[in-house]
Amino acid sequence: MLEARLQDGVVLKKVLDALKDLINEANFDCNETGLSLQAMDNAHVALVSLLIKAESFDPFRCDRSLSLGISLTSLSKILKCSGPSDVLTLKASDQIDTLHIMFEGKDSERVSEFDLKLMDIDSEHLGIPDTEYDVCVNMCSLEFQRICRDLSVLGESVTIECSKESIKFSANGDIGSGAIQIKQGATIDEKKELTTTINVNTPVLATYSLKYLVNFTKATGLSDVVNLSISNELPIVVEYKVSELGYIRYFLAPKIGDDEE
Amino acid sequence: MGIKDLTKLIRAHAPDAIKENLIKNYFGRKIAIDASMSIYQFLIAVRQTEGKQLTDDSGETTSHLMGTFYRTIRMVENGIKPVYVFDGKPPTLKSGELEKRKGRREENEASLKEAVEEGNLENQEKFEKRTVKATKEHNDECRRLLKLMGIPFIIAPCEAEAQCAALARAGKVYASGSEDMDTLCFSTPILLRKLTFSEAKKEPIMEIYLDKVLEGLGVTMDEFIDLCILLGCDYCDSIKGIGPHRAFNLIKEHKSIEKVLINLDKKKHPVSEDWPFAEARELFRKPEILEDDNIDIKWTDPDEEGVVDFLVKEKNFNEERVRKGVQKLKKNRKTVVQGRLDGFFTTAPKDSTSESEKPLKLGKRKTEDKKGGVKKKVDTKKSGSKGKPRR
The lowest-confidence range among A88-102, B218-232, B264-278 is B264-278
Residue of A nearest to B296 (CA): A260
Least CB-CB distance to A119: which of B347, B365, B384? B365
Output the CA–CA distances (angstroms, integers) from residue A124 to A38, A39, A47, B350, B351, in the order listed: 9, 8, 11, 8, 11
Q: Residue A58 domain-assigned?
A: yes
Q: Quote the pLDDT of residue A102.
A: 94
Least CB-CB distance to B299: which of A67, A68, A261? A261
Q: Residue A231 domain-assigned?
A: yes
Quote the CA–CA distance of B225 and B97 in Å, as a whole number. Answer: 18
Q: With 70 as the cut, is the pLDDT of residue B147 above it?
A: yes
The gap between the terminal CA atoms of chain B, to the nearest Å, is 31
Q: How confident is the model at residue B355 (pLDDT cuts 50, 70, 90)?
A: very low
Mind telling me how many Å the CA of A81 is from chain B's nearest CA?
A: 23
B383 to A117: CB separation less than 8 angstroms, yes or no: no
Residues B226-242, mean pLDDT to the nearest whole number:
84
Quote the CA–CA distance of B33 and B23 in Å, as a whole number. Answer: 14
Contacting residues of A for B336, CB less than 8 Å apart:
157, 207, 255-258
Is any Cβ of chain A less than 8 angstroms from the Cβ of B350? yes
A80 and A152 together in one domain: no
Domain finish residue from A117, A146, A164? A117
A101 and A177 together in one domain: no
Between these two residues, A126 and A101, which has the higher pLDDT value?
Answer: A101
Output the CA–CA distances (angstroms, integers) from residue B81 to A211, B26, B326, in the order listed: 23, 9, 15
Highest-pLDDT range among A88-102, A214-228, B115-129, B241-255: A214-228
Q: Quote the pLDDT of residue A174.
A: 85
Q: Residue A17 domain-assigned?
A: yes
Q: How many A/B residue pairs have CB atoms within 8 Å?
A: 138
Least CB-CB distance to B387: which of A92, A121, A253? A121
Domain finish residue from A89, A117, A145? A117
Q: How would you write chain A as a 3-class SS string?
A: CEEEEECCCHHHHHHHHHHCCCCCEEEEEEECCEEEEEEECCCCCEEEEEEEEHHHCCCEEECCCEEEEEEHHHHHHHHCCCCCCCEEEEEECCCCCEEEEEEECHHHCCEEEEEEECCCCCCCCEECCCCCCCEEEEEEHHHHHHHHHHHHCCCCEEEEEEECCEEEEEEECCCCEEEEEEECCCEEECCCCEECEEEECCCEEEEEEHHHHHHHHHHHHHCCEEEEEECCCCCEEEEEEECCCEEEEEEECCEECCCCC
Q: Give pLDDT tens digits for A167-196.
A: 999 999 889 999 999 998 888 777 777 888
Mind telling me how many Å the CA of B150 is from chain A's nearest CA?
A: 12
Residues A155-169, mean pLDDT to the nearest whole number:
91
Is any Cβ of chain A less than 8 angstroms from the Cβ of B109? no
Is any Cβ of chain A less than 8 angstroms from the Cβ of B298? yes
Contacting residues of B for A43, CB less than 8 Å apart:
24-25, 27, 338, 340, 384
Residue of B nearest to A173 (CA): B335
Quote the CA–CA distance of B152 and B299 in Å, as a whole number. Answer: 6
Output the CA–CA distances (angstroms, integers) from residue A6 to A87, A112, A142, in the order listed: 6, 15, 25
Q: Give pLDDT tens digits for A200-252.
A: 999 999 999 999 999 999 999 999 999 999 998 889 999 999 877 899 999 99
A95 and A183 together in one domain: no
Highest-pLDDT range among A154-168, B233-247, B346-360: A154-168
> A83: which residues sit within 8 A by CB, 6+ positions away?
A103, A105, A110
The most distant pair of C-alpha atoms in chain B lies apart, rounded to whole Å, by 75
Q: With 70 as the cut, is the pLDDT of residue B228 above it?
A: yes
ipTM: 0.74
Domain finish residue from A61, A86, A117? A117
Least CB-CB distance to A67: which of B25, B336, B360? B360
> B59: which residues sit within 8 A by CB, 6+ positions away?
none
- Strand A87-92 and strand A98-104: pairing? antiparallel
Domain range for A153 is 135-252
Residue of B nearest to A96 (CA): B362
A94 to B360: CB separation less than 8 angstroms, yes or no: yes
Q: How confident is the model at residue B50 (pLDDT cuts 50, 70, 90)?
A: low
Is any Cβ of chain B less than 8 angstroms from the Cβ of A59? no
B360 to A64: CB separation less than 8 angstroms, yes or no: yes
Q: Residue A219 domain-assigned?
A: yes
Is any Cβ of chain B less than 8 angstroms from the Cβ of A229? no
Q: Best residue in B26, B341, B374 to probe A by mutation, most A CBs within 10 Å?
A: B341
Enumerate residues 150 to 169 of chain A having a beta carbon within 8 A of any beta carbon in chain B.
Answer: 157
B348 to A127: CB separation less than 8 angstroms, yes or no: yes
Q: With 50 as the cut, is the pLDDT of residue A129 above it?
A: yes
**Roughly what angle, to the nearest 10 degrees, separates helices B121-130 and B95-118?**
160
**Roughly what angle, to the nearest 10 degrees, separates helices B221-231 and B6-13?**
130
**Residue A194 C-alpha from the chain's centroid:** 21
Q: With 70 as the cut, is the pLDDT of residue B265 above it?
A: yes
A180 and A210 together in one domain: yes
Contacting residues of A for B390, CB less than 8 Å apart:
120, 122
List the A2-6 sheet strands across, edge first: A60-62, A2-6, A87-92, A98-104, A111-117
Q: Where are the domains of chain B?
A: 15-217, 221-285
A209 and A239 together in one domain: yes
At the second CATH level, the architecture of B15-217 is: 3-Layer(aba) Sandwich (3.40)
Q: With 70 as the cut, is the pLDDT of residue A258 above it?
A: no
Quote the CA–CA distance of B259 and B251 in Å, as a whole number. Answer: 9
Output the CA–CA distances (angstroms, integers) from residue A19 to A22, A28, B381, in the order listed: 6, 12, 18
Q: With 70 as the cut, is the pLDDT of residue A260 above it?
A: no
Burial (CB count within 10 angstroms: exposed 0-12, middle 13-18, buried 19+), residue B251: buried
A97 and A56 together in one domain: yes
Tally of domains in chain A: 2
**Residue (of A77, A24, A80, A16) closest to A52 by Cα position:** A16
Q: How confident is the model at residue B366 (pLDDT cuts 50, 70, 90)?
A: very low
Contacting residues of A for B30, CB less than 8 Å apart:
none
Quote the CA–CA distance of A140 and A151 in Å, as a whole number. Answer: 17
Q: How confident is the model at residue B29 (pLDDT cuts 50, 70, 90)?
A: confident
Q: With 50 as the cut, is the pLDDT of residue A166 above it?
A: yes
Residues B224-240, mean pLDDT to the nearest whole number:
85
Q: How confident is the model at residue B359 (pLDDT cuts 50, 70, 90)?
A: low
A207 to B390: CB separation less than 8 angstroms, yes or no: no
Quote the CA–CA distance of A92 and B20 in Å, as a whole number. Answer: 31
Q: Quote the pLDDT of residue B371.
A: 38
Q: Give pLDDT tens digits for A69-109.
A: 999 999 999 999 998 889 999 999 877 789 999 999 877 78
Is any Cβ of chain B less than 8 angstroms from the Cβ of A94? yes
A253 to B339: CB separation less than 8 angstroms, yes or no: yes
> A241: which residues sit within 8 A by CB, 6+ positions away?
A222, A223, A225, A247
Residue of A nearest to B335 (CA): A257
Q: Residue A130 domain-assigned?
A: no
B342 to A251: CB separation less than 8 angstroms, yes or no: no
> B379: which residues sit within 8 A by CB, 6+ positions away?
none
Q: Quote the pLDDT of residue A53.
A: 93
Do B150 and B73 meet the contact criterion of CB atoms below 8 Å apart?
no
Q: Give pLDDT tens digits for A48-65.
A: 999 999 999 989 999 888
**Residue A20 C-alpha from the chain's centroid:** 10
Q: Residue A258 domain-assigned?
A: no
User: What CATH number is attached to the domain comprising A234?
Assistant: 3.70.10.10
Is any Cβ of chain B less than 8 angstroms from the Cβ of A23? no
Contacting residues of A for B338, CB less than 8 Å apart:
43, 45, 209, 253, 255
Quote the CA–CA distance of A232 and A215 in Å, as a whole number. Answer: 22
**What does the buried/exposed string (b/e) look like for B149-166 if buried means 16 or more CB atoms within 10 Å of the residue's CB?**
bbbbbbebebbbbbbbbb
Least CB-CB distance to B387: which of A44, A69, A254? A69
At the second CATH level, the architecture of B221-285 is: Orthogonal Bundle (1.10)
Q: Give pLDDT tens digits for A13-31.
A: 999 999 999 999 999 999 9
B336 to A65: CB separation less than 8 angstroms, yes or no: no
Between these two residues, B282 and B56, which has the higher pLDDT value?
Answer: B282
Q: Residue A125 domain-assigned?
A: no
Mind telling me how many Å the CA of A71 is from chain B's nearest CA?
A: 9
Q: Quote the pLDDT of residue B206.
A: 92
Residues B246-272, mean pLDDT to the nearest whole number:
84
Q: Quote the pLDDT of residue B358.
A: 54
Is any Cβ of chain A less than 8 angstroms from the Cβ of B355? no
Contacting residues of B for A207, CB less than 8 Å apart:
336
Between these two residues, B88 and B384, which has the higher pLDDT value?
Answer: B88
Mind telling me how many Å the CA of A190 is from chain B's nearest CA?
A: 37
**Residue (of B14, B2, B11) closest to B391 by Cα position:** B14
Q: How confident is the model at residue B362 (pLDDT cuts 50, 70, 90)?
A: low
Least CB-CB distance to B362: which of A66, A234, A261? A66
Enumerate residues 165 to 204 of chain A having a beta carbon within 8 A of any beta carbon in chain B.
Answer: none
Q: How confident is the model at residue B348 (pLDDT cuts 50, 70, 90)?
A: low
